[in-house]
Amino acid sequence: MPISAADTALPRDVPTDLLIGGRWRPAKSGQRLTVSDPATEQALAQVADGSAEDAKEALSAAARAFFAFRKTSAYQRSAWLRTWFEAIRRERHNLARLITLENGKPLTEALAEVDYAASFVEWFSEEGKRAYGRTIPATGTSRRLLAIRQPVGVVAAITPWNFPAAMITRKVAPALAAGCTVLLKPASLTPLTALALARLWQEAGGPDGSLNVVTSTKAAAIVDAWMADFRVRKVTFTGSTPIGQDLIKKSAAQVQRLSLELGGQAPFVVFDDADLERTIAALLVSKFRNGGQSCVASNRMLVQRTILPAFISRATAAVSALRIGHGLEPGVELGPLIDQAGRTKVLSHIKDALAKGAQLKSGGQALEGAGFFVQPTVLTDVGPGMLVMEEETFGPVVAISAFDTEEEGVALANASPFGLAAYAFTESASRAWRVAEALEYGIVGLNEGLPSTAQAPFGGWKLSGIGREGASEGLDAFLEEKYIAWGGIDG
C-alpha cells in the first residue's frame, strides 16, 4: 500500500535548532537547511544551518562545561547514561520513524538501528566505571609509581548519514562516560535523529554544555573552526577515506588525538564447503543492510568455482525477491539510496562492470519516479579493473567473481588497500581459523554477516582507519594516560 503525505509527516515537537551550552537556538545567520525524505524527495523539515561562528560558540560552551564535567564521578556519569539509554528505548518507535524518514532505510532496520544505538549507551554506562589505572613497582623504597587515566578533553564528533543514531552513540556515549564534553556535527542529510537524541540526553539530566550539536551544510567550516582550536583535544570521525586523510593533516597543528572509521571494500569469500543456505542469509544482511550503504557492507563476492552456479542461482533468487519501496510501508526490505549522488555512483559501477564484460542476472536499473531507488542487482563474471572490485559501491549490488583455491581466495580478498571488514564462509573449523588469521582486516565475520556489536572492537586496518570503537577500546579512545611518581615516602 503506498504511503500518504500524512504517514510521512514529522511529529511537531522534533527539535530543529542548534544545541549550545544547554540552550536551543537558531543559527546566528538565521539560515536553515532542508532535510528531505530520500524515498519521496519531499522536504521534511528546515533545520538550523550553523556556521563557523556557531561552531566557535559551541566550542567555548563545551570547554567551559568540561571543567565541571571532568570532575563528576564515573558513577554519576553512568547514571546519566543509563537514564539516556532508557529514554532511547522508550522512544524507540519515534526515533526509528525519524531514521526511516530522513535516511530511507526500512522501519524494521531503523528499529534495529535504535536498539544498536541504545546498546552503545548501555555498554558505556557500565564500562565507564572501569577506567582503571595501575600501580607499578618502583626500583627503590621511597617512591610509589602510579598510572591514572583521565578524560582527554573536548571531543569533536563528526558523524555520517548511514546510521544516523548508532554512529552518534558509538562516539558520544564513551566520550561522556570518560568525562569528556562533546561537540557533535551530524551529517546534514540526517540531522533530525541527532537532535532528537541530544534532547533525550538533556532530559536524562545531561549537564548543560556536555553535549553540543551544530547542524550545518558547511562541514569544512565547522570542522576547521574546531580543529584549529587547541581546546579540542580529540576528533572522532566516521566517513570516507579522503576526508579522513584530510583530518589527519588538520590534526597536526594542535596534535589532536584521532579515531577514524573510514571506507571499506569488504570481500565476502565463499568456500566450496560452505552451508549455502546460511551463506545466502548472511549475504542478504551483509549486502542489503541499509541498501548496501555501510562501511562493512560486503562489496566483492568471491566464490569458489565448484559451487559458483549454485551460489549464483540462490543469490539471484533471494535478491530479486527483495521488496523495494518506502521504508514505512509494511514488508519493505530495501529503501532508496540517500541521494542523487549516491544513486549516480551505484549506477556508474553497474554500467562500468557491464561495459567490461560482467553479466547482469537481476536488477541493474534505477526505479522510475520520485526517490533515489536502485533495483537490487546481481552481477556475475566480475573481475579486476571493474569499479565494483576496486571501490566501495555503497549500494544494493551483489558483484560475483570466482576463484579456484583457498590461497587464491584469500589473496584476492587481501588485494585491497582497505581493511575494515571481511567475511568468510566454510564448514571446516581449521579452514575458518586459517582464513581468519590470513585476512588483513580489522573485523572478520566467519559464517556471520553482521559482526558489529557494542562489546566488540570495531575498526579498520590500512586505509580503513585508525583506532577502535565499541568495547573497552572505545572508552580508551577518550582517556589520556597520566603517570604519577610520588617520592619522599618514608619507611
Site for ligand SIN in 342-381 (CB under 6 A): none
Measured distance CA(2)–CA(328) in Å, rounded:
9
Q: Which helix (H) or strand (E) holds 134?
A: strand 134-136
Between 162 and 401, CB nearer to ligand SIN = 162
Q: Pick one of 51, 100, 190, 294: the residue that binds ligand SIN (CB under 6 A).
A: 294
Q: Which part of the chain contacts ligand SIN (CB under 6 A), choosing from 144-152, 176-184, 288-296, 319-327?
A: 288-296
Nearer to ligand SIN, 327 or 459 (CB): 459
Question: What residues contact 233, with CB distance under 8 A and at least 6 apart?
Answer: 152, 153, 154, 155, 256, 257, 480
| Least spacing, CB of residue 169 vs ligand SIN, in Å | 11
Active-site residue, selected from the candidate residues 91, 113, 122, 295: 295
Q: Which stretches does DSSP call E strand in 349-478?
A: 359-362, 377-380, 397-403, 418-419, 421-425, 443-446, 461-462, 465-466
Compute the least distance from the CB of residue 238 to ligand SIN, in Å. 5
The yes or no reply on residue 161 touching ligand SIN (CB under 6 A) is no
Question: Measured from the CB of residue 343, what is the shortest distance to ligand SIN in angstroms?
Answer: 18
Determine the interface stretch with ligand SIN among 200-208, 268-276, 293-301, 375-383 (rule: CB under 6 A). Answer: 293-301
Q: Which CB sits closer to ligand SIN, 40 or 259?
A: 259
Q: Are 361 and 326 in contact (CB under 8 A)?
A: no
Residue with cell 546481481: 378
Angle in degrees, 0-180, between the axes of helices 219-227 and 52-69, rounded to the nearest 10: 40
User: Residue 163 interacts with ligand SIN (CB under 6 A)?
Assistant: yes
Active site residue 180: no
Q: Least CB distance from residue 401 to ligand SIN, whole Å?
A: 23
DSSP assignment string, 242-304:
HHHHHHHHHHTTTT-EEEEE----EEEEE-TTS-HHHHHHHHHHHHHGGGG-STTSEEEEEEE
Is 238 one of the binding residues for ligand SIN (CB under 6 A)? Answer: yes
Which segments of 261-363 does DSSP mark as H helices, in order?
A: 276-288, 308-320, 340-355
**35 in Cβ contact with 190 (< 8 Å):** yes
How far is the C-alpha of 482 from the C-alpha of 151, rounded, in Å? Answer: 10
Residue type, 171: K
DSSP label at residue 365: S
Q: Would you call 295 a catalytic residue per the annotation? A: yes
The letter for the amino acid at 48 is: A
What count of other Cβ atoms lies within 10 Å of the Cβ of residue 444?
A: 18
Size of the site for ligand SIN (CB under 6 A): 9
What's the min distance (Å) between Cβ of 241 and ligand SIN?
12
Judged by beta carbon, residue 236 or residue 294, the one nearer ligand SIN is 294
**Distance between CA atoms of residues 220 and 113, nearest Å:** 27
Nine-digit cell string for 459: 575498526
Nearer to ligand SIN among residue 163 and residue 403 (C-beta): 163
CB of 162 to ligand SIN, least distance (A): 5
Taking CB positions, which residue lies at the least distance from ligand SIN?
452
Instruction: Output 261 or 406, the one with its CB closest to ligand SIN.
Output: 261
Report the residue from 156, 173, 295, 374 that binds ligand SIN according to the rule CB under 6 A. 295
- Cα–Cα distance, 393 to 299 (Å, whole number): 7
> Residue 226 corresponds to which cell in the numbers above?
574546531
Which residue of the set 57, 127, 261, 390 is catalytic?
261
Q: Identify which range of 28-36, 79-87, 294-302, 402-410 contacts ligand SIN by CB under 6 A.
A: 294-302
Q: Alpha-carbon dihedral of residues 401, 402, 407, 412, nearest 10 degrees?
A: -20
Look at the block and give the residue holding cell 567555548: 60
Select from 42-50, 151-159, 224-232, 289-297 the region that touches ligand SIN (CB under 6 A).
289-297
Q: Which of 190, 241, 452, 464 binds ligand SIN (CB under 6 A)?
A: 452
Beta carbon nearer to ligand SIN, 162 or 216:
162
| Cβ pair 326, 369 in contact under 8 A | no
| Least distance CB 242 / ligand SIN (angstroms) | 16
Name the residue nearer to ligand SIN (CB basis): 160 or 179.
160
The residues of the shown chain that bind ligand SIN, judged by CB under 6 A, are 162-163, 238, 261, 294-296, 452, 458
Please give the positions annotated as active site. Answer: 261, 295
